[in-house]
Amino acid sequence: MWLVQQARSWIPSPCWVVVARDLKGDLAVIADEGLTPNVTPTVWMAAQWVMRHGTELLSSDLSKDSGKPGVIGSAIAFPLICRNRTVGVLIGLDPLPSAGAPVLGAALSLAIRSVLEPPAIALENALTIQRTEAVSVTDDLTGLYNSRYLNLVLRRESKRASRSGRPLSLLFMDLDGFKGVNDTHGHLAGSKALVEAAAIIRGSARETDVAARFGGDEFSVILPDTGREGAVSVAERIRERINACEFLSSDGLSIHLTASIGVATLPDVAASAEELLKAADVAMYRVKDAGKNGIHIAQEASAF
């Protein structure tokens, strides 16, 4: 990022970092030069302080000034302010304490803020675009991807799998008994149960998988570079964890739900994204017809 390179030309600190909030609202490093693991705790301490106070942090020895374990060295940090709001932090760090405390006069502080205003505006605009893009592909309730994004990724991954000859699998699942939650405890309780189920599905999938809420109480997981056996392993993990979960326990309830899951793999049973989705959907309904709470592989005769 231009800003960290420019900052190093202003003040030759061994490390310069830009920190801002990510899409989840957590602080994250978005650009750095010279960042090493030993100063990472110092980055978070300085960033949190500046985000909270909205003013410069100047310290010759943060280990003494903060009193926090793992915080070391000297630091100078500036708020990145856009529309009177701190949107990020520019931090210069040295792992060693300095002989004297950094000093900024009022005129210099004002000049620096003026110089940093355009980068702050650019950062806020970039973050706004990211948030807008995330909202367009994310399910509002569960935080999983939505069906629109699922279809986009499925088409992309199916084409990639066809070109590379690698397998692509899809899970399609429905929560058994979910209607009863809405009917008995109301739609608010039903929504909370969906959120809990989504967390289980997300936590059971792998980092490379794409988990989405297809609609209602139906969910889907795209598993790139994954054949039938690997897909069944992920599906069984999801099924077992949903079956073992006591939903809405934080509300004093103990709701039991299960999942019917269909598994389809390209090129075994499909040659396109549309065929793969249809095959997984049909396989899921085979489980429903066979008594629910199970897994069925597309074009296989039995559920288990």
Reference 92, options 55, 59, 52; nearest CA is: 59
The token pair that represents 246 in the structure block: 């006591």
The residue count for the chain: 304
Residue type, 99: A
> Are 174 and 182 a contacting pair, CB within 8 Å?
no
> Are residues 251 and 187 part of one domain?
yes
The token pair that represents 39 in the structure block: 């100063």
Segments of the chain scoring below 70 in pLDDT: 1, 23, 101-102, 132-135, 300-304
Q: For residue 180, give every residue at least 6 positions away whose Cβ sits within 8 Å of its Cβ, in sequence order, or none.
A: none
Is residue 159 assigned to a domain? yes
Domain boundary among 137, 167, 186: 137
> Are residues 243 and 203 part of one domain?
yes
The DSSP 8-state label assigned to residue 25 in this structure reads S
CA distance 198 to 141: 9
> Are 225 and 168 a contacting pair, CB within 8 Å?
yes
> Are residues 165 and 257 part of one domain?
yes
Number of domains in the chain: 2
Residue type, 96: L
Residue 117: the pLDDT is 86
pLDDT tens digits for range 158-200: 999 999 999 999 999 999 999 999 999 999 999 999 999 999 9
Residue 302: the pLDDT is 39
> Are 39 and 95 a contacting pair, CB within 8 Å?
yes
Is residue 36 assigned to a domain? yes
Residue 135: the pLDDT is 63
Residue type, 124: E
> Are residues 234 and 101 part of one domain?
no
> Are residues 151 and 293 part of one domain?
yes
